């Protein structure tokens, strides 16, 4: 199911297996409300006592496998304990990753699974040319990183980075002081010598952020760290160490393309207009007015469903529910200073470009345009062409 920033389930997005759960049943399951109590919600790292937040690329096969197995069991009348099923599926996904099977399959067909990184190379080269110091911290083993980076960036990829750390065990890397750095040779064998400095061109394994900070003296807002996982990559660095963070959200590219379509802009503009009209005109309670209000409410709900389906028929946009940000969006803006679809987006800006925060209105600072819109004082794009949607 999909949850908004305030822990409310978006009706129409709850599924048991592959089948939608009726809104009435969802509300009944949560005691007559769409709200999920705080004690059931995900903790700091996205896992609560009874709910887990799926929010990264590994979530896709895990969600698909969970849904399909549940659907099979239900369809064949098989009894099962949900907790056991969840654990078995999660363990299976983890084993494919931890035991190296995924790395093996990808390495066997790089062309199929890994894109050429011409734009990535351009970004990295540009940063190096402007005197920036780059580092790579990854949970993947060196053999996989080396083959992948050679495929993406080229054989000299290690010259772009001042420090390369593999099998880092994030997010523990950012909080556990106990694991020391170990140096790896070209064959992947570990050295025994104590690490007193991190050298360019060398490969290091494990370690921890506290030794990293001590050895590099890279601290605070002078560091900008990019990652694609809000918890494993970004949360601790922003909250505990004051680094600047950038989130890589590939789905953003498609979402931006959709919100720039005329259909989306027409639909959203008319939804906003209907919402304003409903709020203003609800004081009229005669029979004819109530009939008009009911028609507006029905039309507004239809438009919301149409807009949702533009992104995904089952769940809609990953960034918002019908009107609120999603729980994912809330965590995204909490743990990242910037977010973008790809590192290559940086090519659109100078290296010394400054991103300024936008002032977003609070509820009591509601934008004036909605009042103007509802009283006809302001011309809104597309509003005159809404007849075909109605």
Q: How far apart are CA 126 and CA 50, in angstroms?
A: 46
Q: Are 152 and 116 within 8 A, CB to CB?
A: yes
Q: Are 209 and 173 within 8 A, CB to CB?
A: yes
Ramachandran sector of residue 188 (left: φ over 0; alpha: ψ -120 to 50; beta: rest): left
Q: How far apart are CA 120 and CA 106, in angstroms?
A: 19
Q: Are 247 and 229 within 8 A, CB to CB?
A: no
Q: What are the structure tokens assigned to 298, written together? A: 């029905």
Q: What are the structure tokens assigned to 210, written together? A: 């506290």
Q: How far is CA 232 from the centre of its chain?
A: 12
* 71 carries a ligand binding annotation: no
Q: Identify how many contiguous H helices and E strands the chain contains and give both numbers.
A: 14, 9
Q: How far apart are CA 379 and CA 373, in angstroms?
A: 7
Question: Annotated binding residues, as ranges?
Answer: 228
Indicate the annotated binding residues for Mg(2+).
228
């Amino acid at each position: 199911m999909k949850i908004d920033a305030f822990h409310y389930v978006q009706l129409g997005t709850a599924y048991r297996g592959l089948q939608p759960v009726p809104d009435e049943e969802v509300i009944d399951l949560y005691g007559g409300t769409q709200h999920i109590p705080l004690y059931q919600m995900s903790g700091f790292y996205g896992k609560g006592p009874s709910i887990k937040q799926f929010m990264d690329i590994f979530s896709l096969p895990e969600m698909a496998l969970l849904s399909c197995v549940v659907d099979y069991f239900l369809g064949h009348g098989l009894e099962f304990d949900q907790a056991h099923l969840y654990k078995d599926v999660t363990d299976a996904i983890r084993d494919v990753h931890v035991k190296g099977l995924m790395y093996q399959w990808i390495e066997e067909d790089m062309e199929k699974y890994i894109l050429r990184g011409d734009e990535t190379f351009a970004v990295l080269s540009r940063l190096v040319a402007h005197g920036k110091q780059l580092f790579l911290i990854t949970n993947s083993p060196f053999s996989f990183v080396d083959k992948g980076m050679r495929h993406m960036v080229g054989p000299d990829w290690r010259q772009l980075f001042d420090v390369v750390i593999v099998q880092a065990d994030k997010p523990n890397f950012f909080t556990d002081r106990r694991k020391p750095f170990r140096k790896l040779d070209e064959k992947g064998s570990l050295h025994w010598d104590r690490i007193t400095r991190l050298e360019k061109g060398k490969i290091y394994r494990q370690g921890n952020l506290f030794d990293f900070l001590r050895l590099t003296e890279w601290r605070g807002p002078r560091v900008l760290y990019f990652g694609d996982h809000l918890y494993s990559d970004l949360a601790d660095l922003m909250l505990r160490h004051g680094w600047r963070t950038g989130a890589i959200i590939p789905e953003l590219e498609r979402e931006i393309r959709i919100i720039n379509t005329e259909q989306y802009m027409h639909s959203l503009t008319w939804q906003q207009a209907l919402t304003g009209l409903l709020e203003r005109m609800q004081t009229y309670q005669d029979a004819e007015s109530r009939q008009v209000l009911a028609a507006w409410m029905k039309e507004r709900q239809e438009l919301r469903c149409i807009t949702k389906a533009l992104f995904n028929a089952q769940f809609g946009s990953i960034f918002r529910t019908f009107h609120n940000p999603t729980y994912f969006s809330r965590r995204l803006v909490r743990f990242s200073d910037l977010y973008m679809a790809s590192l290559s987006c940086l090519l659109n800006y100078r290296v010394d470009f400054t991103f300024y925060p936008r002032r977003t209105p609070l509820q009591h600072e509601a934008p004036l345009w909605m009042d103007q819109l509802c009283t006809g004082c302001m011309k809104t794009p597309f509003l005159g062409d809404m007849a075909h949607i109605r």
